[in-house]
Amino acid sequence: MKTRTRTDPLTSAVEQGVPLLVLSPHLDDAALSCGAMLIHASSRTQVTVATLFTEAPPPPYTLSARRYLRQVGAPDAQTLYSQRRAEDRAALEPLGITCTHAGLTEAQFRRRPHLGTPSVWARLLPELAHLYPVYRLHVISGHVTPDDAGTLRLALELVIRLAGRGLVLAPLGVGRHVDHVLVRTAAAYSGAPVVYYSDFPYNLRHPADPGFLQRHGLIEMNWSRQLRGKSGLIRAYRTQAHALFPGGRIPLVPETYFFPGVPAGSAPRAPR
């Protein structure tokens, strides 16, 4: 079910000056999925982009991780993530947006807890030491392994601490990347008012999870303002933009948001 932009609680919250907390799984997701809204909202209210997975360890890496590093032309993951954190600040801070980097490790680099020093076998075959060893089979499976419960707990604590009296924007998990699903789960359990955003560019190829939409009674809205400005924002993430859009063309498609079916005008009020 769709609603008109004028009456949805996200637009109402922004116009009322309600602070926004945008949960970004990785160091580009907020710009990719919410860039147009960020540009619009940052001139009207306080906006914080909290990126959860902003770190990666030293080698050894899985085959999937090594392929990713070659794809983006990075010598190692630590160098790459240092560059990505700098890109994030350079892209968002000129808009007056506060950037928070939580320091959690991205899924394809996340190792099994309590492993300690990797064994000889784990050094020879790093997949043995990782929670999500194969990208296509594990990272985009949509299944957060029970061994990753500690990461979910840390994500939930972060959301509760940062949400305050504002409105939370969280990924819907389109594309089934486990980091996106994990952040979605943390937002859903936080008790904060949440609007979910459709994960771009995953949503060009994959549908939203109908079960999640139905369970939460979510209504869809599209946002079309500031799309041209959004393209420039995405290109500021240079380490990722070429790999995501090899031809250099970023599709100008409306952003999609989902919120619980509530009466118009019931958005959270700005703190006094």
20 pLDDT above the threshold of 80: yes
Mean pLDDT of 199-226: 96
The CATH topology of domain 5-260 is: Rossmann fold (3.40.50)
Q: Which residues pair with 111 in a beta bridge?
A: 130
Contact predicate 22/194, CB 8 Å: no
Contact predicate 152/182, CB 8 Å: yes
Q: Where are the domains of the chain?
A: 5-260
Tell me the per-residue pLDDT of 159-172, one tens digit each, with 9 for 90 and over: 999 999 899 999 99
At position 251, the amino acid (one-letter code) is P
Q: Which of 23, 61, 29, 77 is nearest to 244 (CA)?
A: 29
**What pLDDT is attached to residue 116?**
58
**What pLDDT is attached to residue 267?**
44
* Spatial distance between the Cα atoms of 219 and 8, rounded to a whole number of angstroms: 9
Dihedral angle sign, alpha carbons of residues 183, 184, 189, 195: positive
pTM for the model: 0.92
Mean pLDDT of 137-142: 98
* Spatial distance between the Cα atoms of 177 and 15, rounded to a whole number of angstroms: 32
| Percent of the chain whose predicted confidence (pLDDT) is above 70 | 90
229 pLDDT above the threshold of 70: yes
Higher pLDDT, 39 or 4: 39
Higher pLDDT, 184 or 7: 184
Tell me the per-residue pLDDT of 87-109, one tens digit each, with 9 for 90 and over: 999 999 999 999 999 999 999 99
